[in-house]
Structure 1
Amino acid sequence: MTTTVTSSQPAHPAPPARTQPPAPPARPARRRRSTGAGLAAPFAVLLLCTVLVPVGYAAWLSLFTDRLSGLGLGGYRQVFAGLATYATVLTDPAAHASAAHVAGYALIHIPVMFAVALLIALLLNSATVRLRQVWTLAVFLPYAVPGVIAGLIWAYLYSPGIGPLSATPPVDPLSDTGVLPSIVNMATWQWTGYNVIIFYTALQTVPREVLEAARADGAGPLRTALSIKVPMIRPTLFVALVFTTIGSLQLFTEPMVLRTFTSTVTSTWTPSLYIYEAAFISNDYGRAAAASILLAIASALLSALVMRLSARKSR
């Protein structure tokens, strides 16, 4: 008789398979877009209210002009003029003179101010300067003075019989030939410190290893400044150049203050004064709006040109 023996020991159970943690649900693309739109909404509202709406209203207003109705007994009425207001501004000798004044101002002010600001920033960034914080504050202080107050201070300095600069030979600061350099001096005095801070901050980002390598190669302070420091902060220089160019086209405060001290500065001496005269003295809002649009276009074109030159230099 054959007996079959069956083992009572259970078979070894197979190890449980490793289970991967469930993947997190993918964030819906619609939710991401809504989050981005929510973050951009404050900027979009601010841009719409402070830039697009005023520019659009100025563009619409520039298409109209005020004309006398009938025999002139009914007062002025607003009529559609189309591009005639732009033609009026473009053919106005006063507008041409104001553009020439601003062009001469920019050609003198921008190179002088940039050269002085960059030189001071390089001196402050050097290792040998002492009391760096004190000198930085002293240079920046003129920018903290309000523009109208600074204009009045310089106007009294230029005034004949009062200011010490009025008798300085060989040019009268408020004469036909001296008023432009006087305005350049006022603007340069106020804005140099602002650009010094920008350039000095950019110079602080130049890697120390590069400067140490230049010294090890025998480069002196002048060669290091011109060949290493200035090229490495070139993007900052171009950004400052864009803002300075736009600010030069909008020159208003200095000649507006000097108007009360000399007849050389007329009511249309700069494009901004030309717009002010058209809107608030002549009450020709269509011409003022057209001049504003043309000034904005000129600023945009010059800014684009500077940025294009910046990109070309960077490449």
Structure 2
Amino acid sequence: MTTQTSQAPARGTRRRRSALPYVLVLPAVLLFVLFILAPGAYAVVLSLQRRKVSGGLLGTGSKVVWVGLDNYRQVLTDGELWSSALRMLEVGAITIPVTIGLALLFALLLDTARARFTRAARLLIFLPYAVPGVIATLLWGFMYLPATSPIGGDHIDYFGATGVYGSVANIAVWGAVGFNMVVIYTALRALPPEIYEAARMDGCSELQIALRIKVPLVLPAITMCTLFTVLASAQLFNEPNTLKPLSNAISSTWVPLMKVYTDAFVNSDIYSAAATSVVLAVAALAVSFVAARVVQARVAGGGR
């Protein structure tokens, strides 16, 4: 009798323990469904529809009709969208290598044996990441204006047709370097110090240790940061949209997300905007999948 009584609470405890992971994951699942999955599904539904005006020339009525893939054909043949995507790639060509290069450089410098005041330096480098993107863009925008610029606004056209690419990329880099530096620095600190001691005993300099030991071992972290930066570049919106009133070179469709915003909320064409959003989301997922496979291959290969 005592054995049966003791076994019953044990089974109840095992059930509660087995259910605990699902209870802990449930809030994240609900948030994912409510704010990502459901809006995404609604966008797909909208992308397959179109509002049709009826009533002849007077346009006395309208109704929503299913048009299948017509919106996608219109989006994929829209030259304005491809031009905005090209501008996004040009900004990304500046942002991605500069962001990862500076983040890696700062992380390596902070990880050297002679580094001093590393906590304060990490905080100062990370601080721009905590500044909201719109506020950061406004701050830099006033620094770019000739009337208020302390960085040569009278001699450099920061808002010209060519200079605006560097201006937008500079703001993106300024805000993203700190986060990526922390990720790479954390990976460096996780490496066993015995490796460095053995390398120094063999006569390696700090530069050789950084390039031949540290960088290969933290390559998965660098690859992950590159993925984050690529996805952030694909979502470029705040910087050019905030700078648009200050620059004639930035149109309302300068990058793809600005075109989505203009189509949906200025031109009231939510169906084309939804199709464009779905295309951009699929492209971002494809990039994420390829990058994730690269990271897995690097981790499985020991960072080689």
TM-score w.r.t. length of structure 2: 0.89
Establish whether residue 60 from structure 1 lines up as the match of residue 45 from structure 2.
yes
Question: Which of 268, 271, 293 is the equivalent residue of 1:283?
Answer: 268
**Relative to structure 2, which stretch is displaced further, 86-95 or 71-80?**
71-80
Structure 2 partner of 1:8: none
Shift of 1:86: 0.9
Establish whether residue 244 from structure 1 lines up as the match of residue 229 from structure 2.
yes
Matches within 5 A, 1:160-199: 160-163=146-149, 164-169=151-156, 172-199=157-184
Structure 2 partner of 1:104: 90
Question: Which of 181, 192, 200 is the equivalent residue of 1:207?
Answer: 192
The answer for unaligned runs of 5 or more in structure 1 is 1-20
- CA contact 2:127–2:178 (8 Å) conserved in 1: yes
Shift of 1:286: 0.5
Shift of 1:32: 6.9
Question: Which of 219, 243, 246 is the equivalent residue of 1:261?
Answer: 246
Which secondary structure state, in structure 1, belongs to the residue aligned with residue 245 of structure 2? coil
**Relative to structure 2, which stretch is displaced further, 129-138 or 94-103?**
129-138
The answer for unaligned runs of 5 or more in structure 2 is none
Paired AA for residue 78 in structure 2: D
The change in CA–CA distance for 1:24 and 1:225 in structure 2 (over 3 A counts) is: farther
Matches within 5 A, 1:1-315: 27=11, 34-71=19-56, 72-163=58-149, 164-169=151-156, 172-314=157-299, 315=301
Which secondary structure state, in structure 2, belongs to the residue aligned with residue 259 of structure 1? helix
Q: Runs ≥4 in structure 1, deviation > 3 angstroms?
A: 21-40
Q: In the comparison of the two structures, how many residue pairs are matched? A: 293
Paired AA for residue 42 in structure 2: Y
Paired AA for residue 203 in structure 2: G
Shift of 1:68: 1.8
In the alignment, the residues of structure 2 paired with residue 152 and residue 210 of structure 1 have an alpha-carbon distance, to the nearest angstrom, of 46
Which secondary structure state, in structure 2, belongs to the residue aligned with residue 67 of structure 1? strand
Shift of 1:188: 0.7
- CA contact 2:100–2:225 (8 Å) conserved in 1: no
Shift of 1:37: 3.7
In the alignment, the residues of structure 2 paired with residue 35 and residue 131 of structure 1 have an alpha-carbon distance, to the nearest angstrom, of 43
In the alignment, the residues of structure 2 paired with residue 311 and residue 218 of structure 1 have an alpha-carbon distance, to the nearest angstrom, of 33
**Relative to structure 2, which stretch is displaced further, 257-266 or 189-198?**
189-198
Shift of 1:313: 2.8
In the alignment, the residues of structure 1 paired with residue 236 and residue 20 of structure 2 have an alpha-carbon distance, to the nearest angstrom, of 41
In the alignment, the residues of structure 2 paired with residue 310 and residue 295 of structure 1 have an alpha-carbon distance, to the nearest angstrom, of 22
In the alignment, the residues of structure 1 paired with residue 168 and residue 24 of structure 2 have an alpha-carbon distance, to the nearest angstrom, of 43
Structure 2 partner of 1:4: none
- Report the RMSD for the aligned CA atoms in angstroms: 2.2
Query: Identity of aligned pairs, percent?
Result: 39
Decide which structure has the larger Cα Rg and report it: 1
TM-score w.r.t. length of structure 1: 0.86
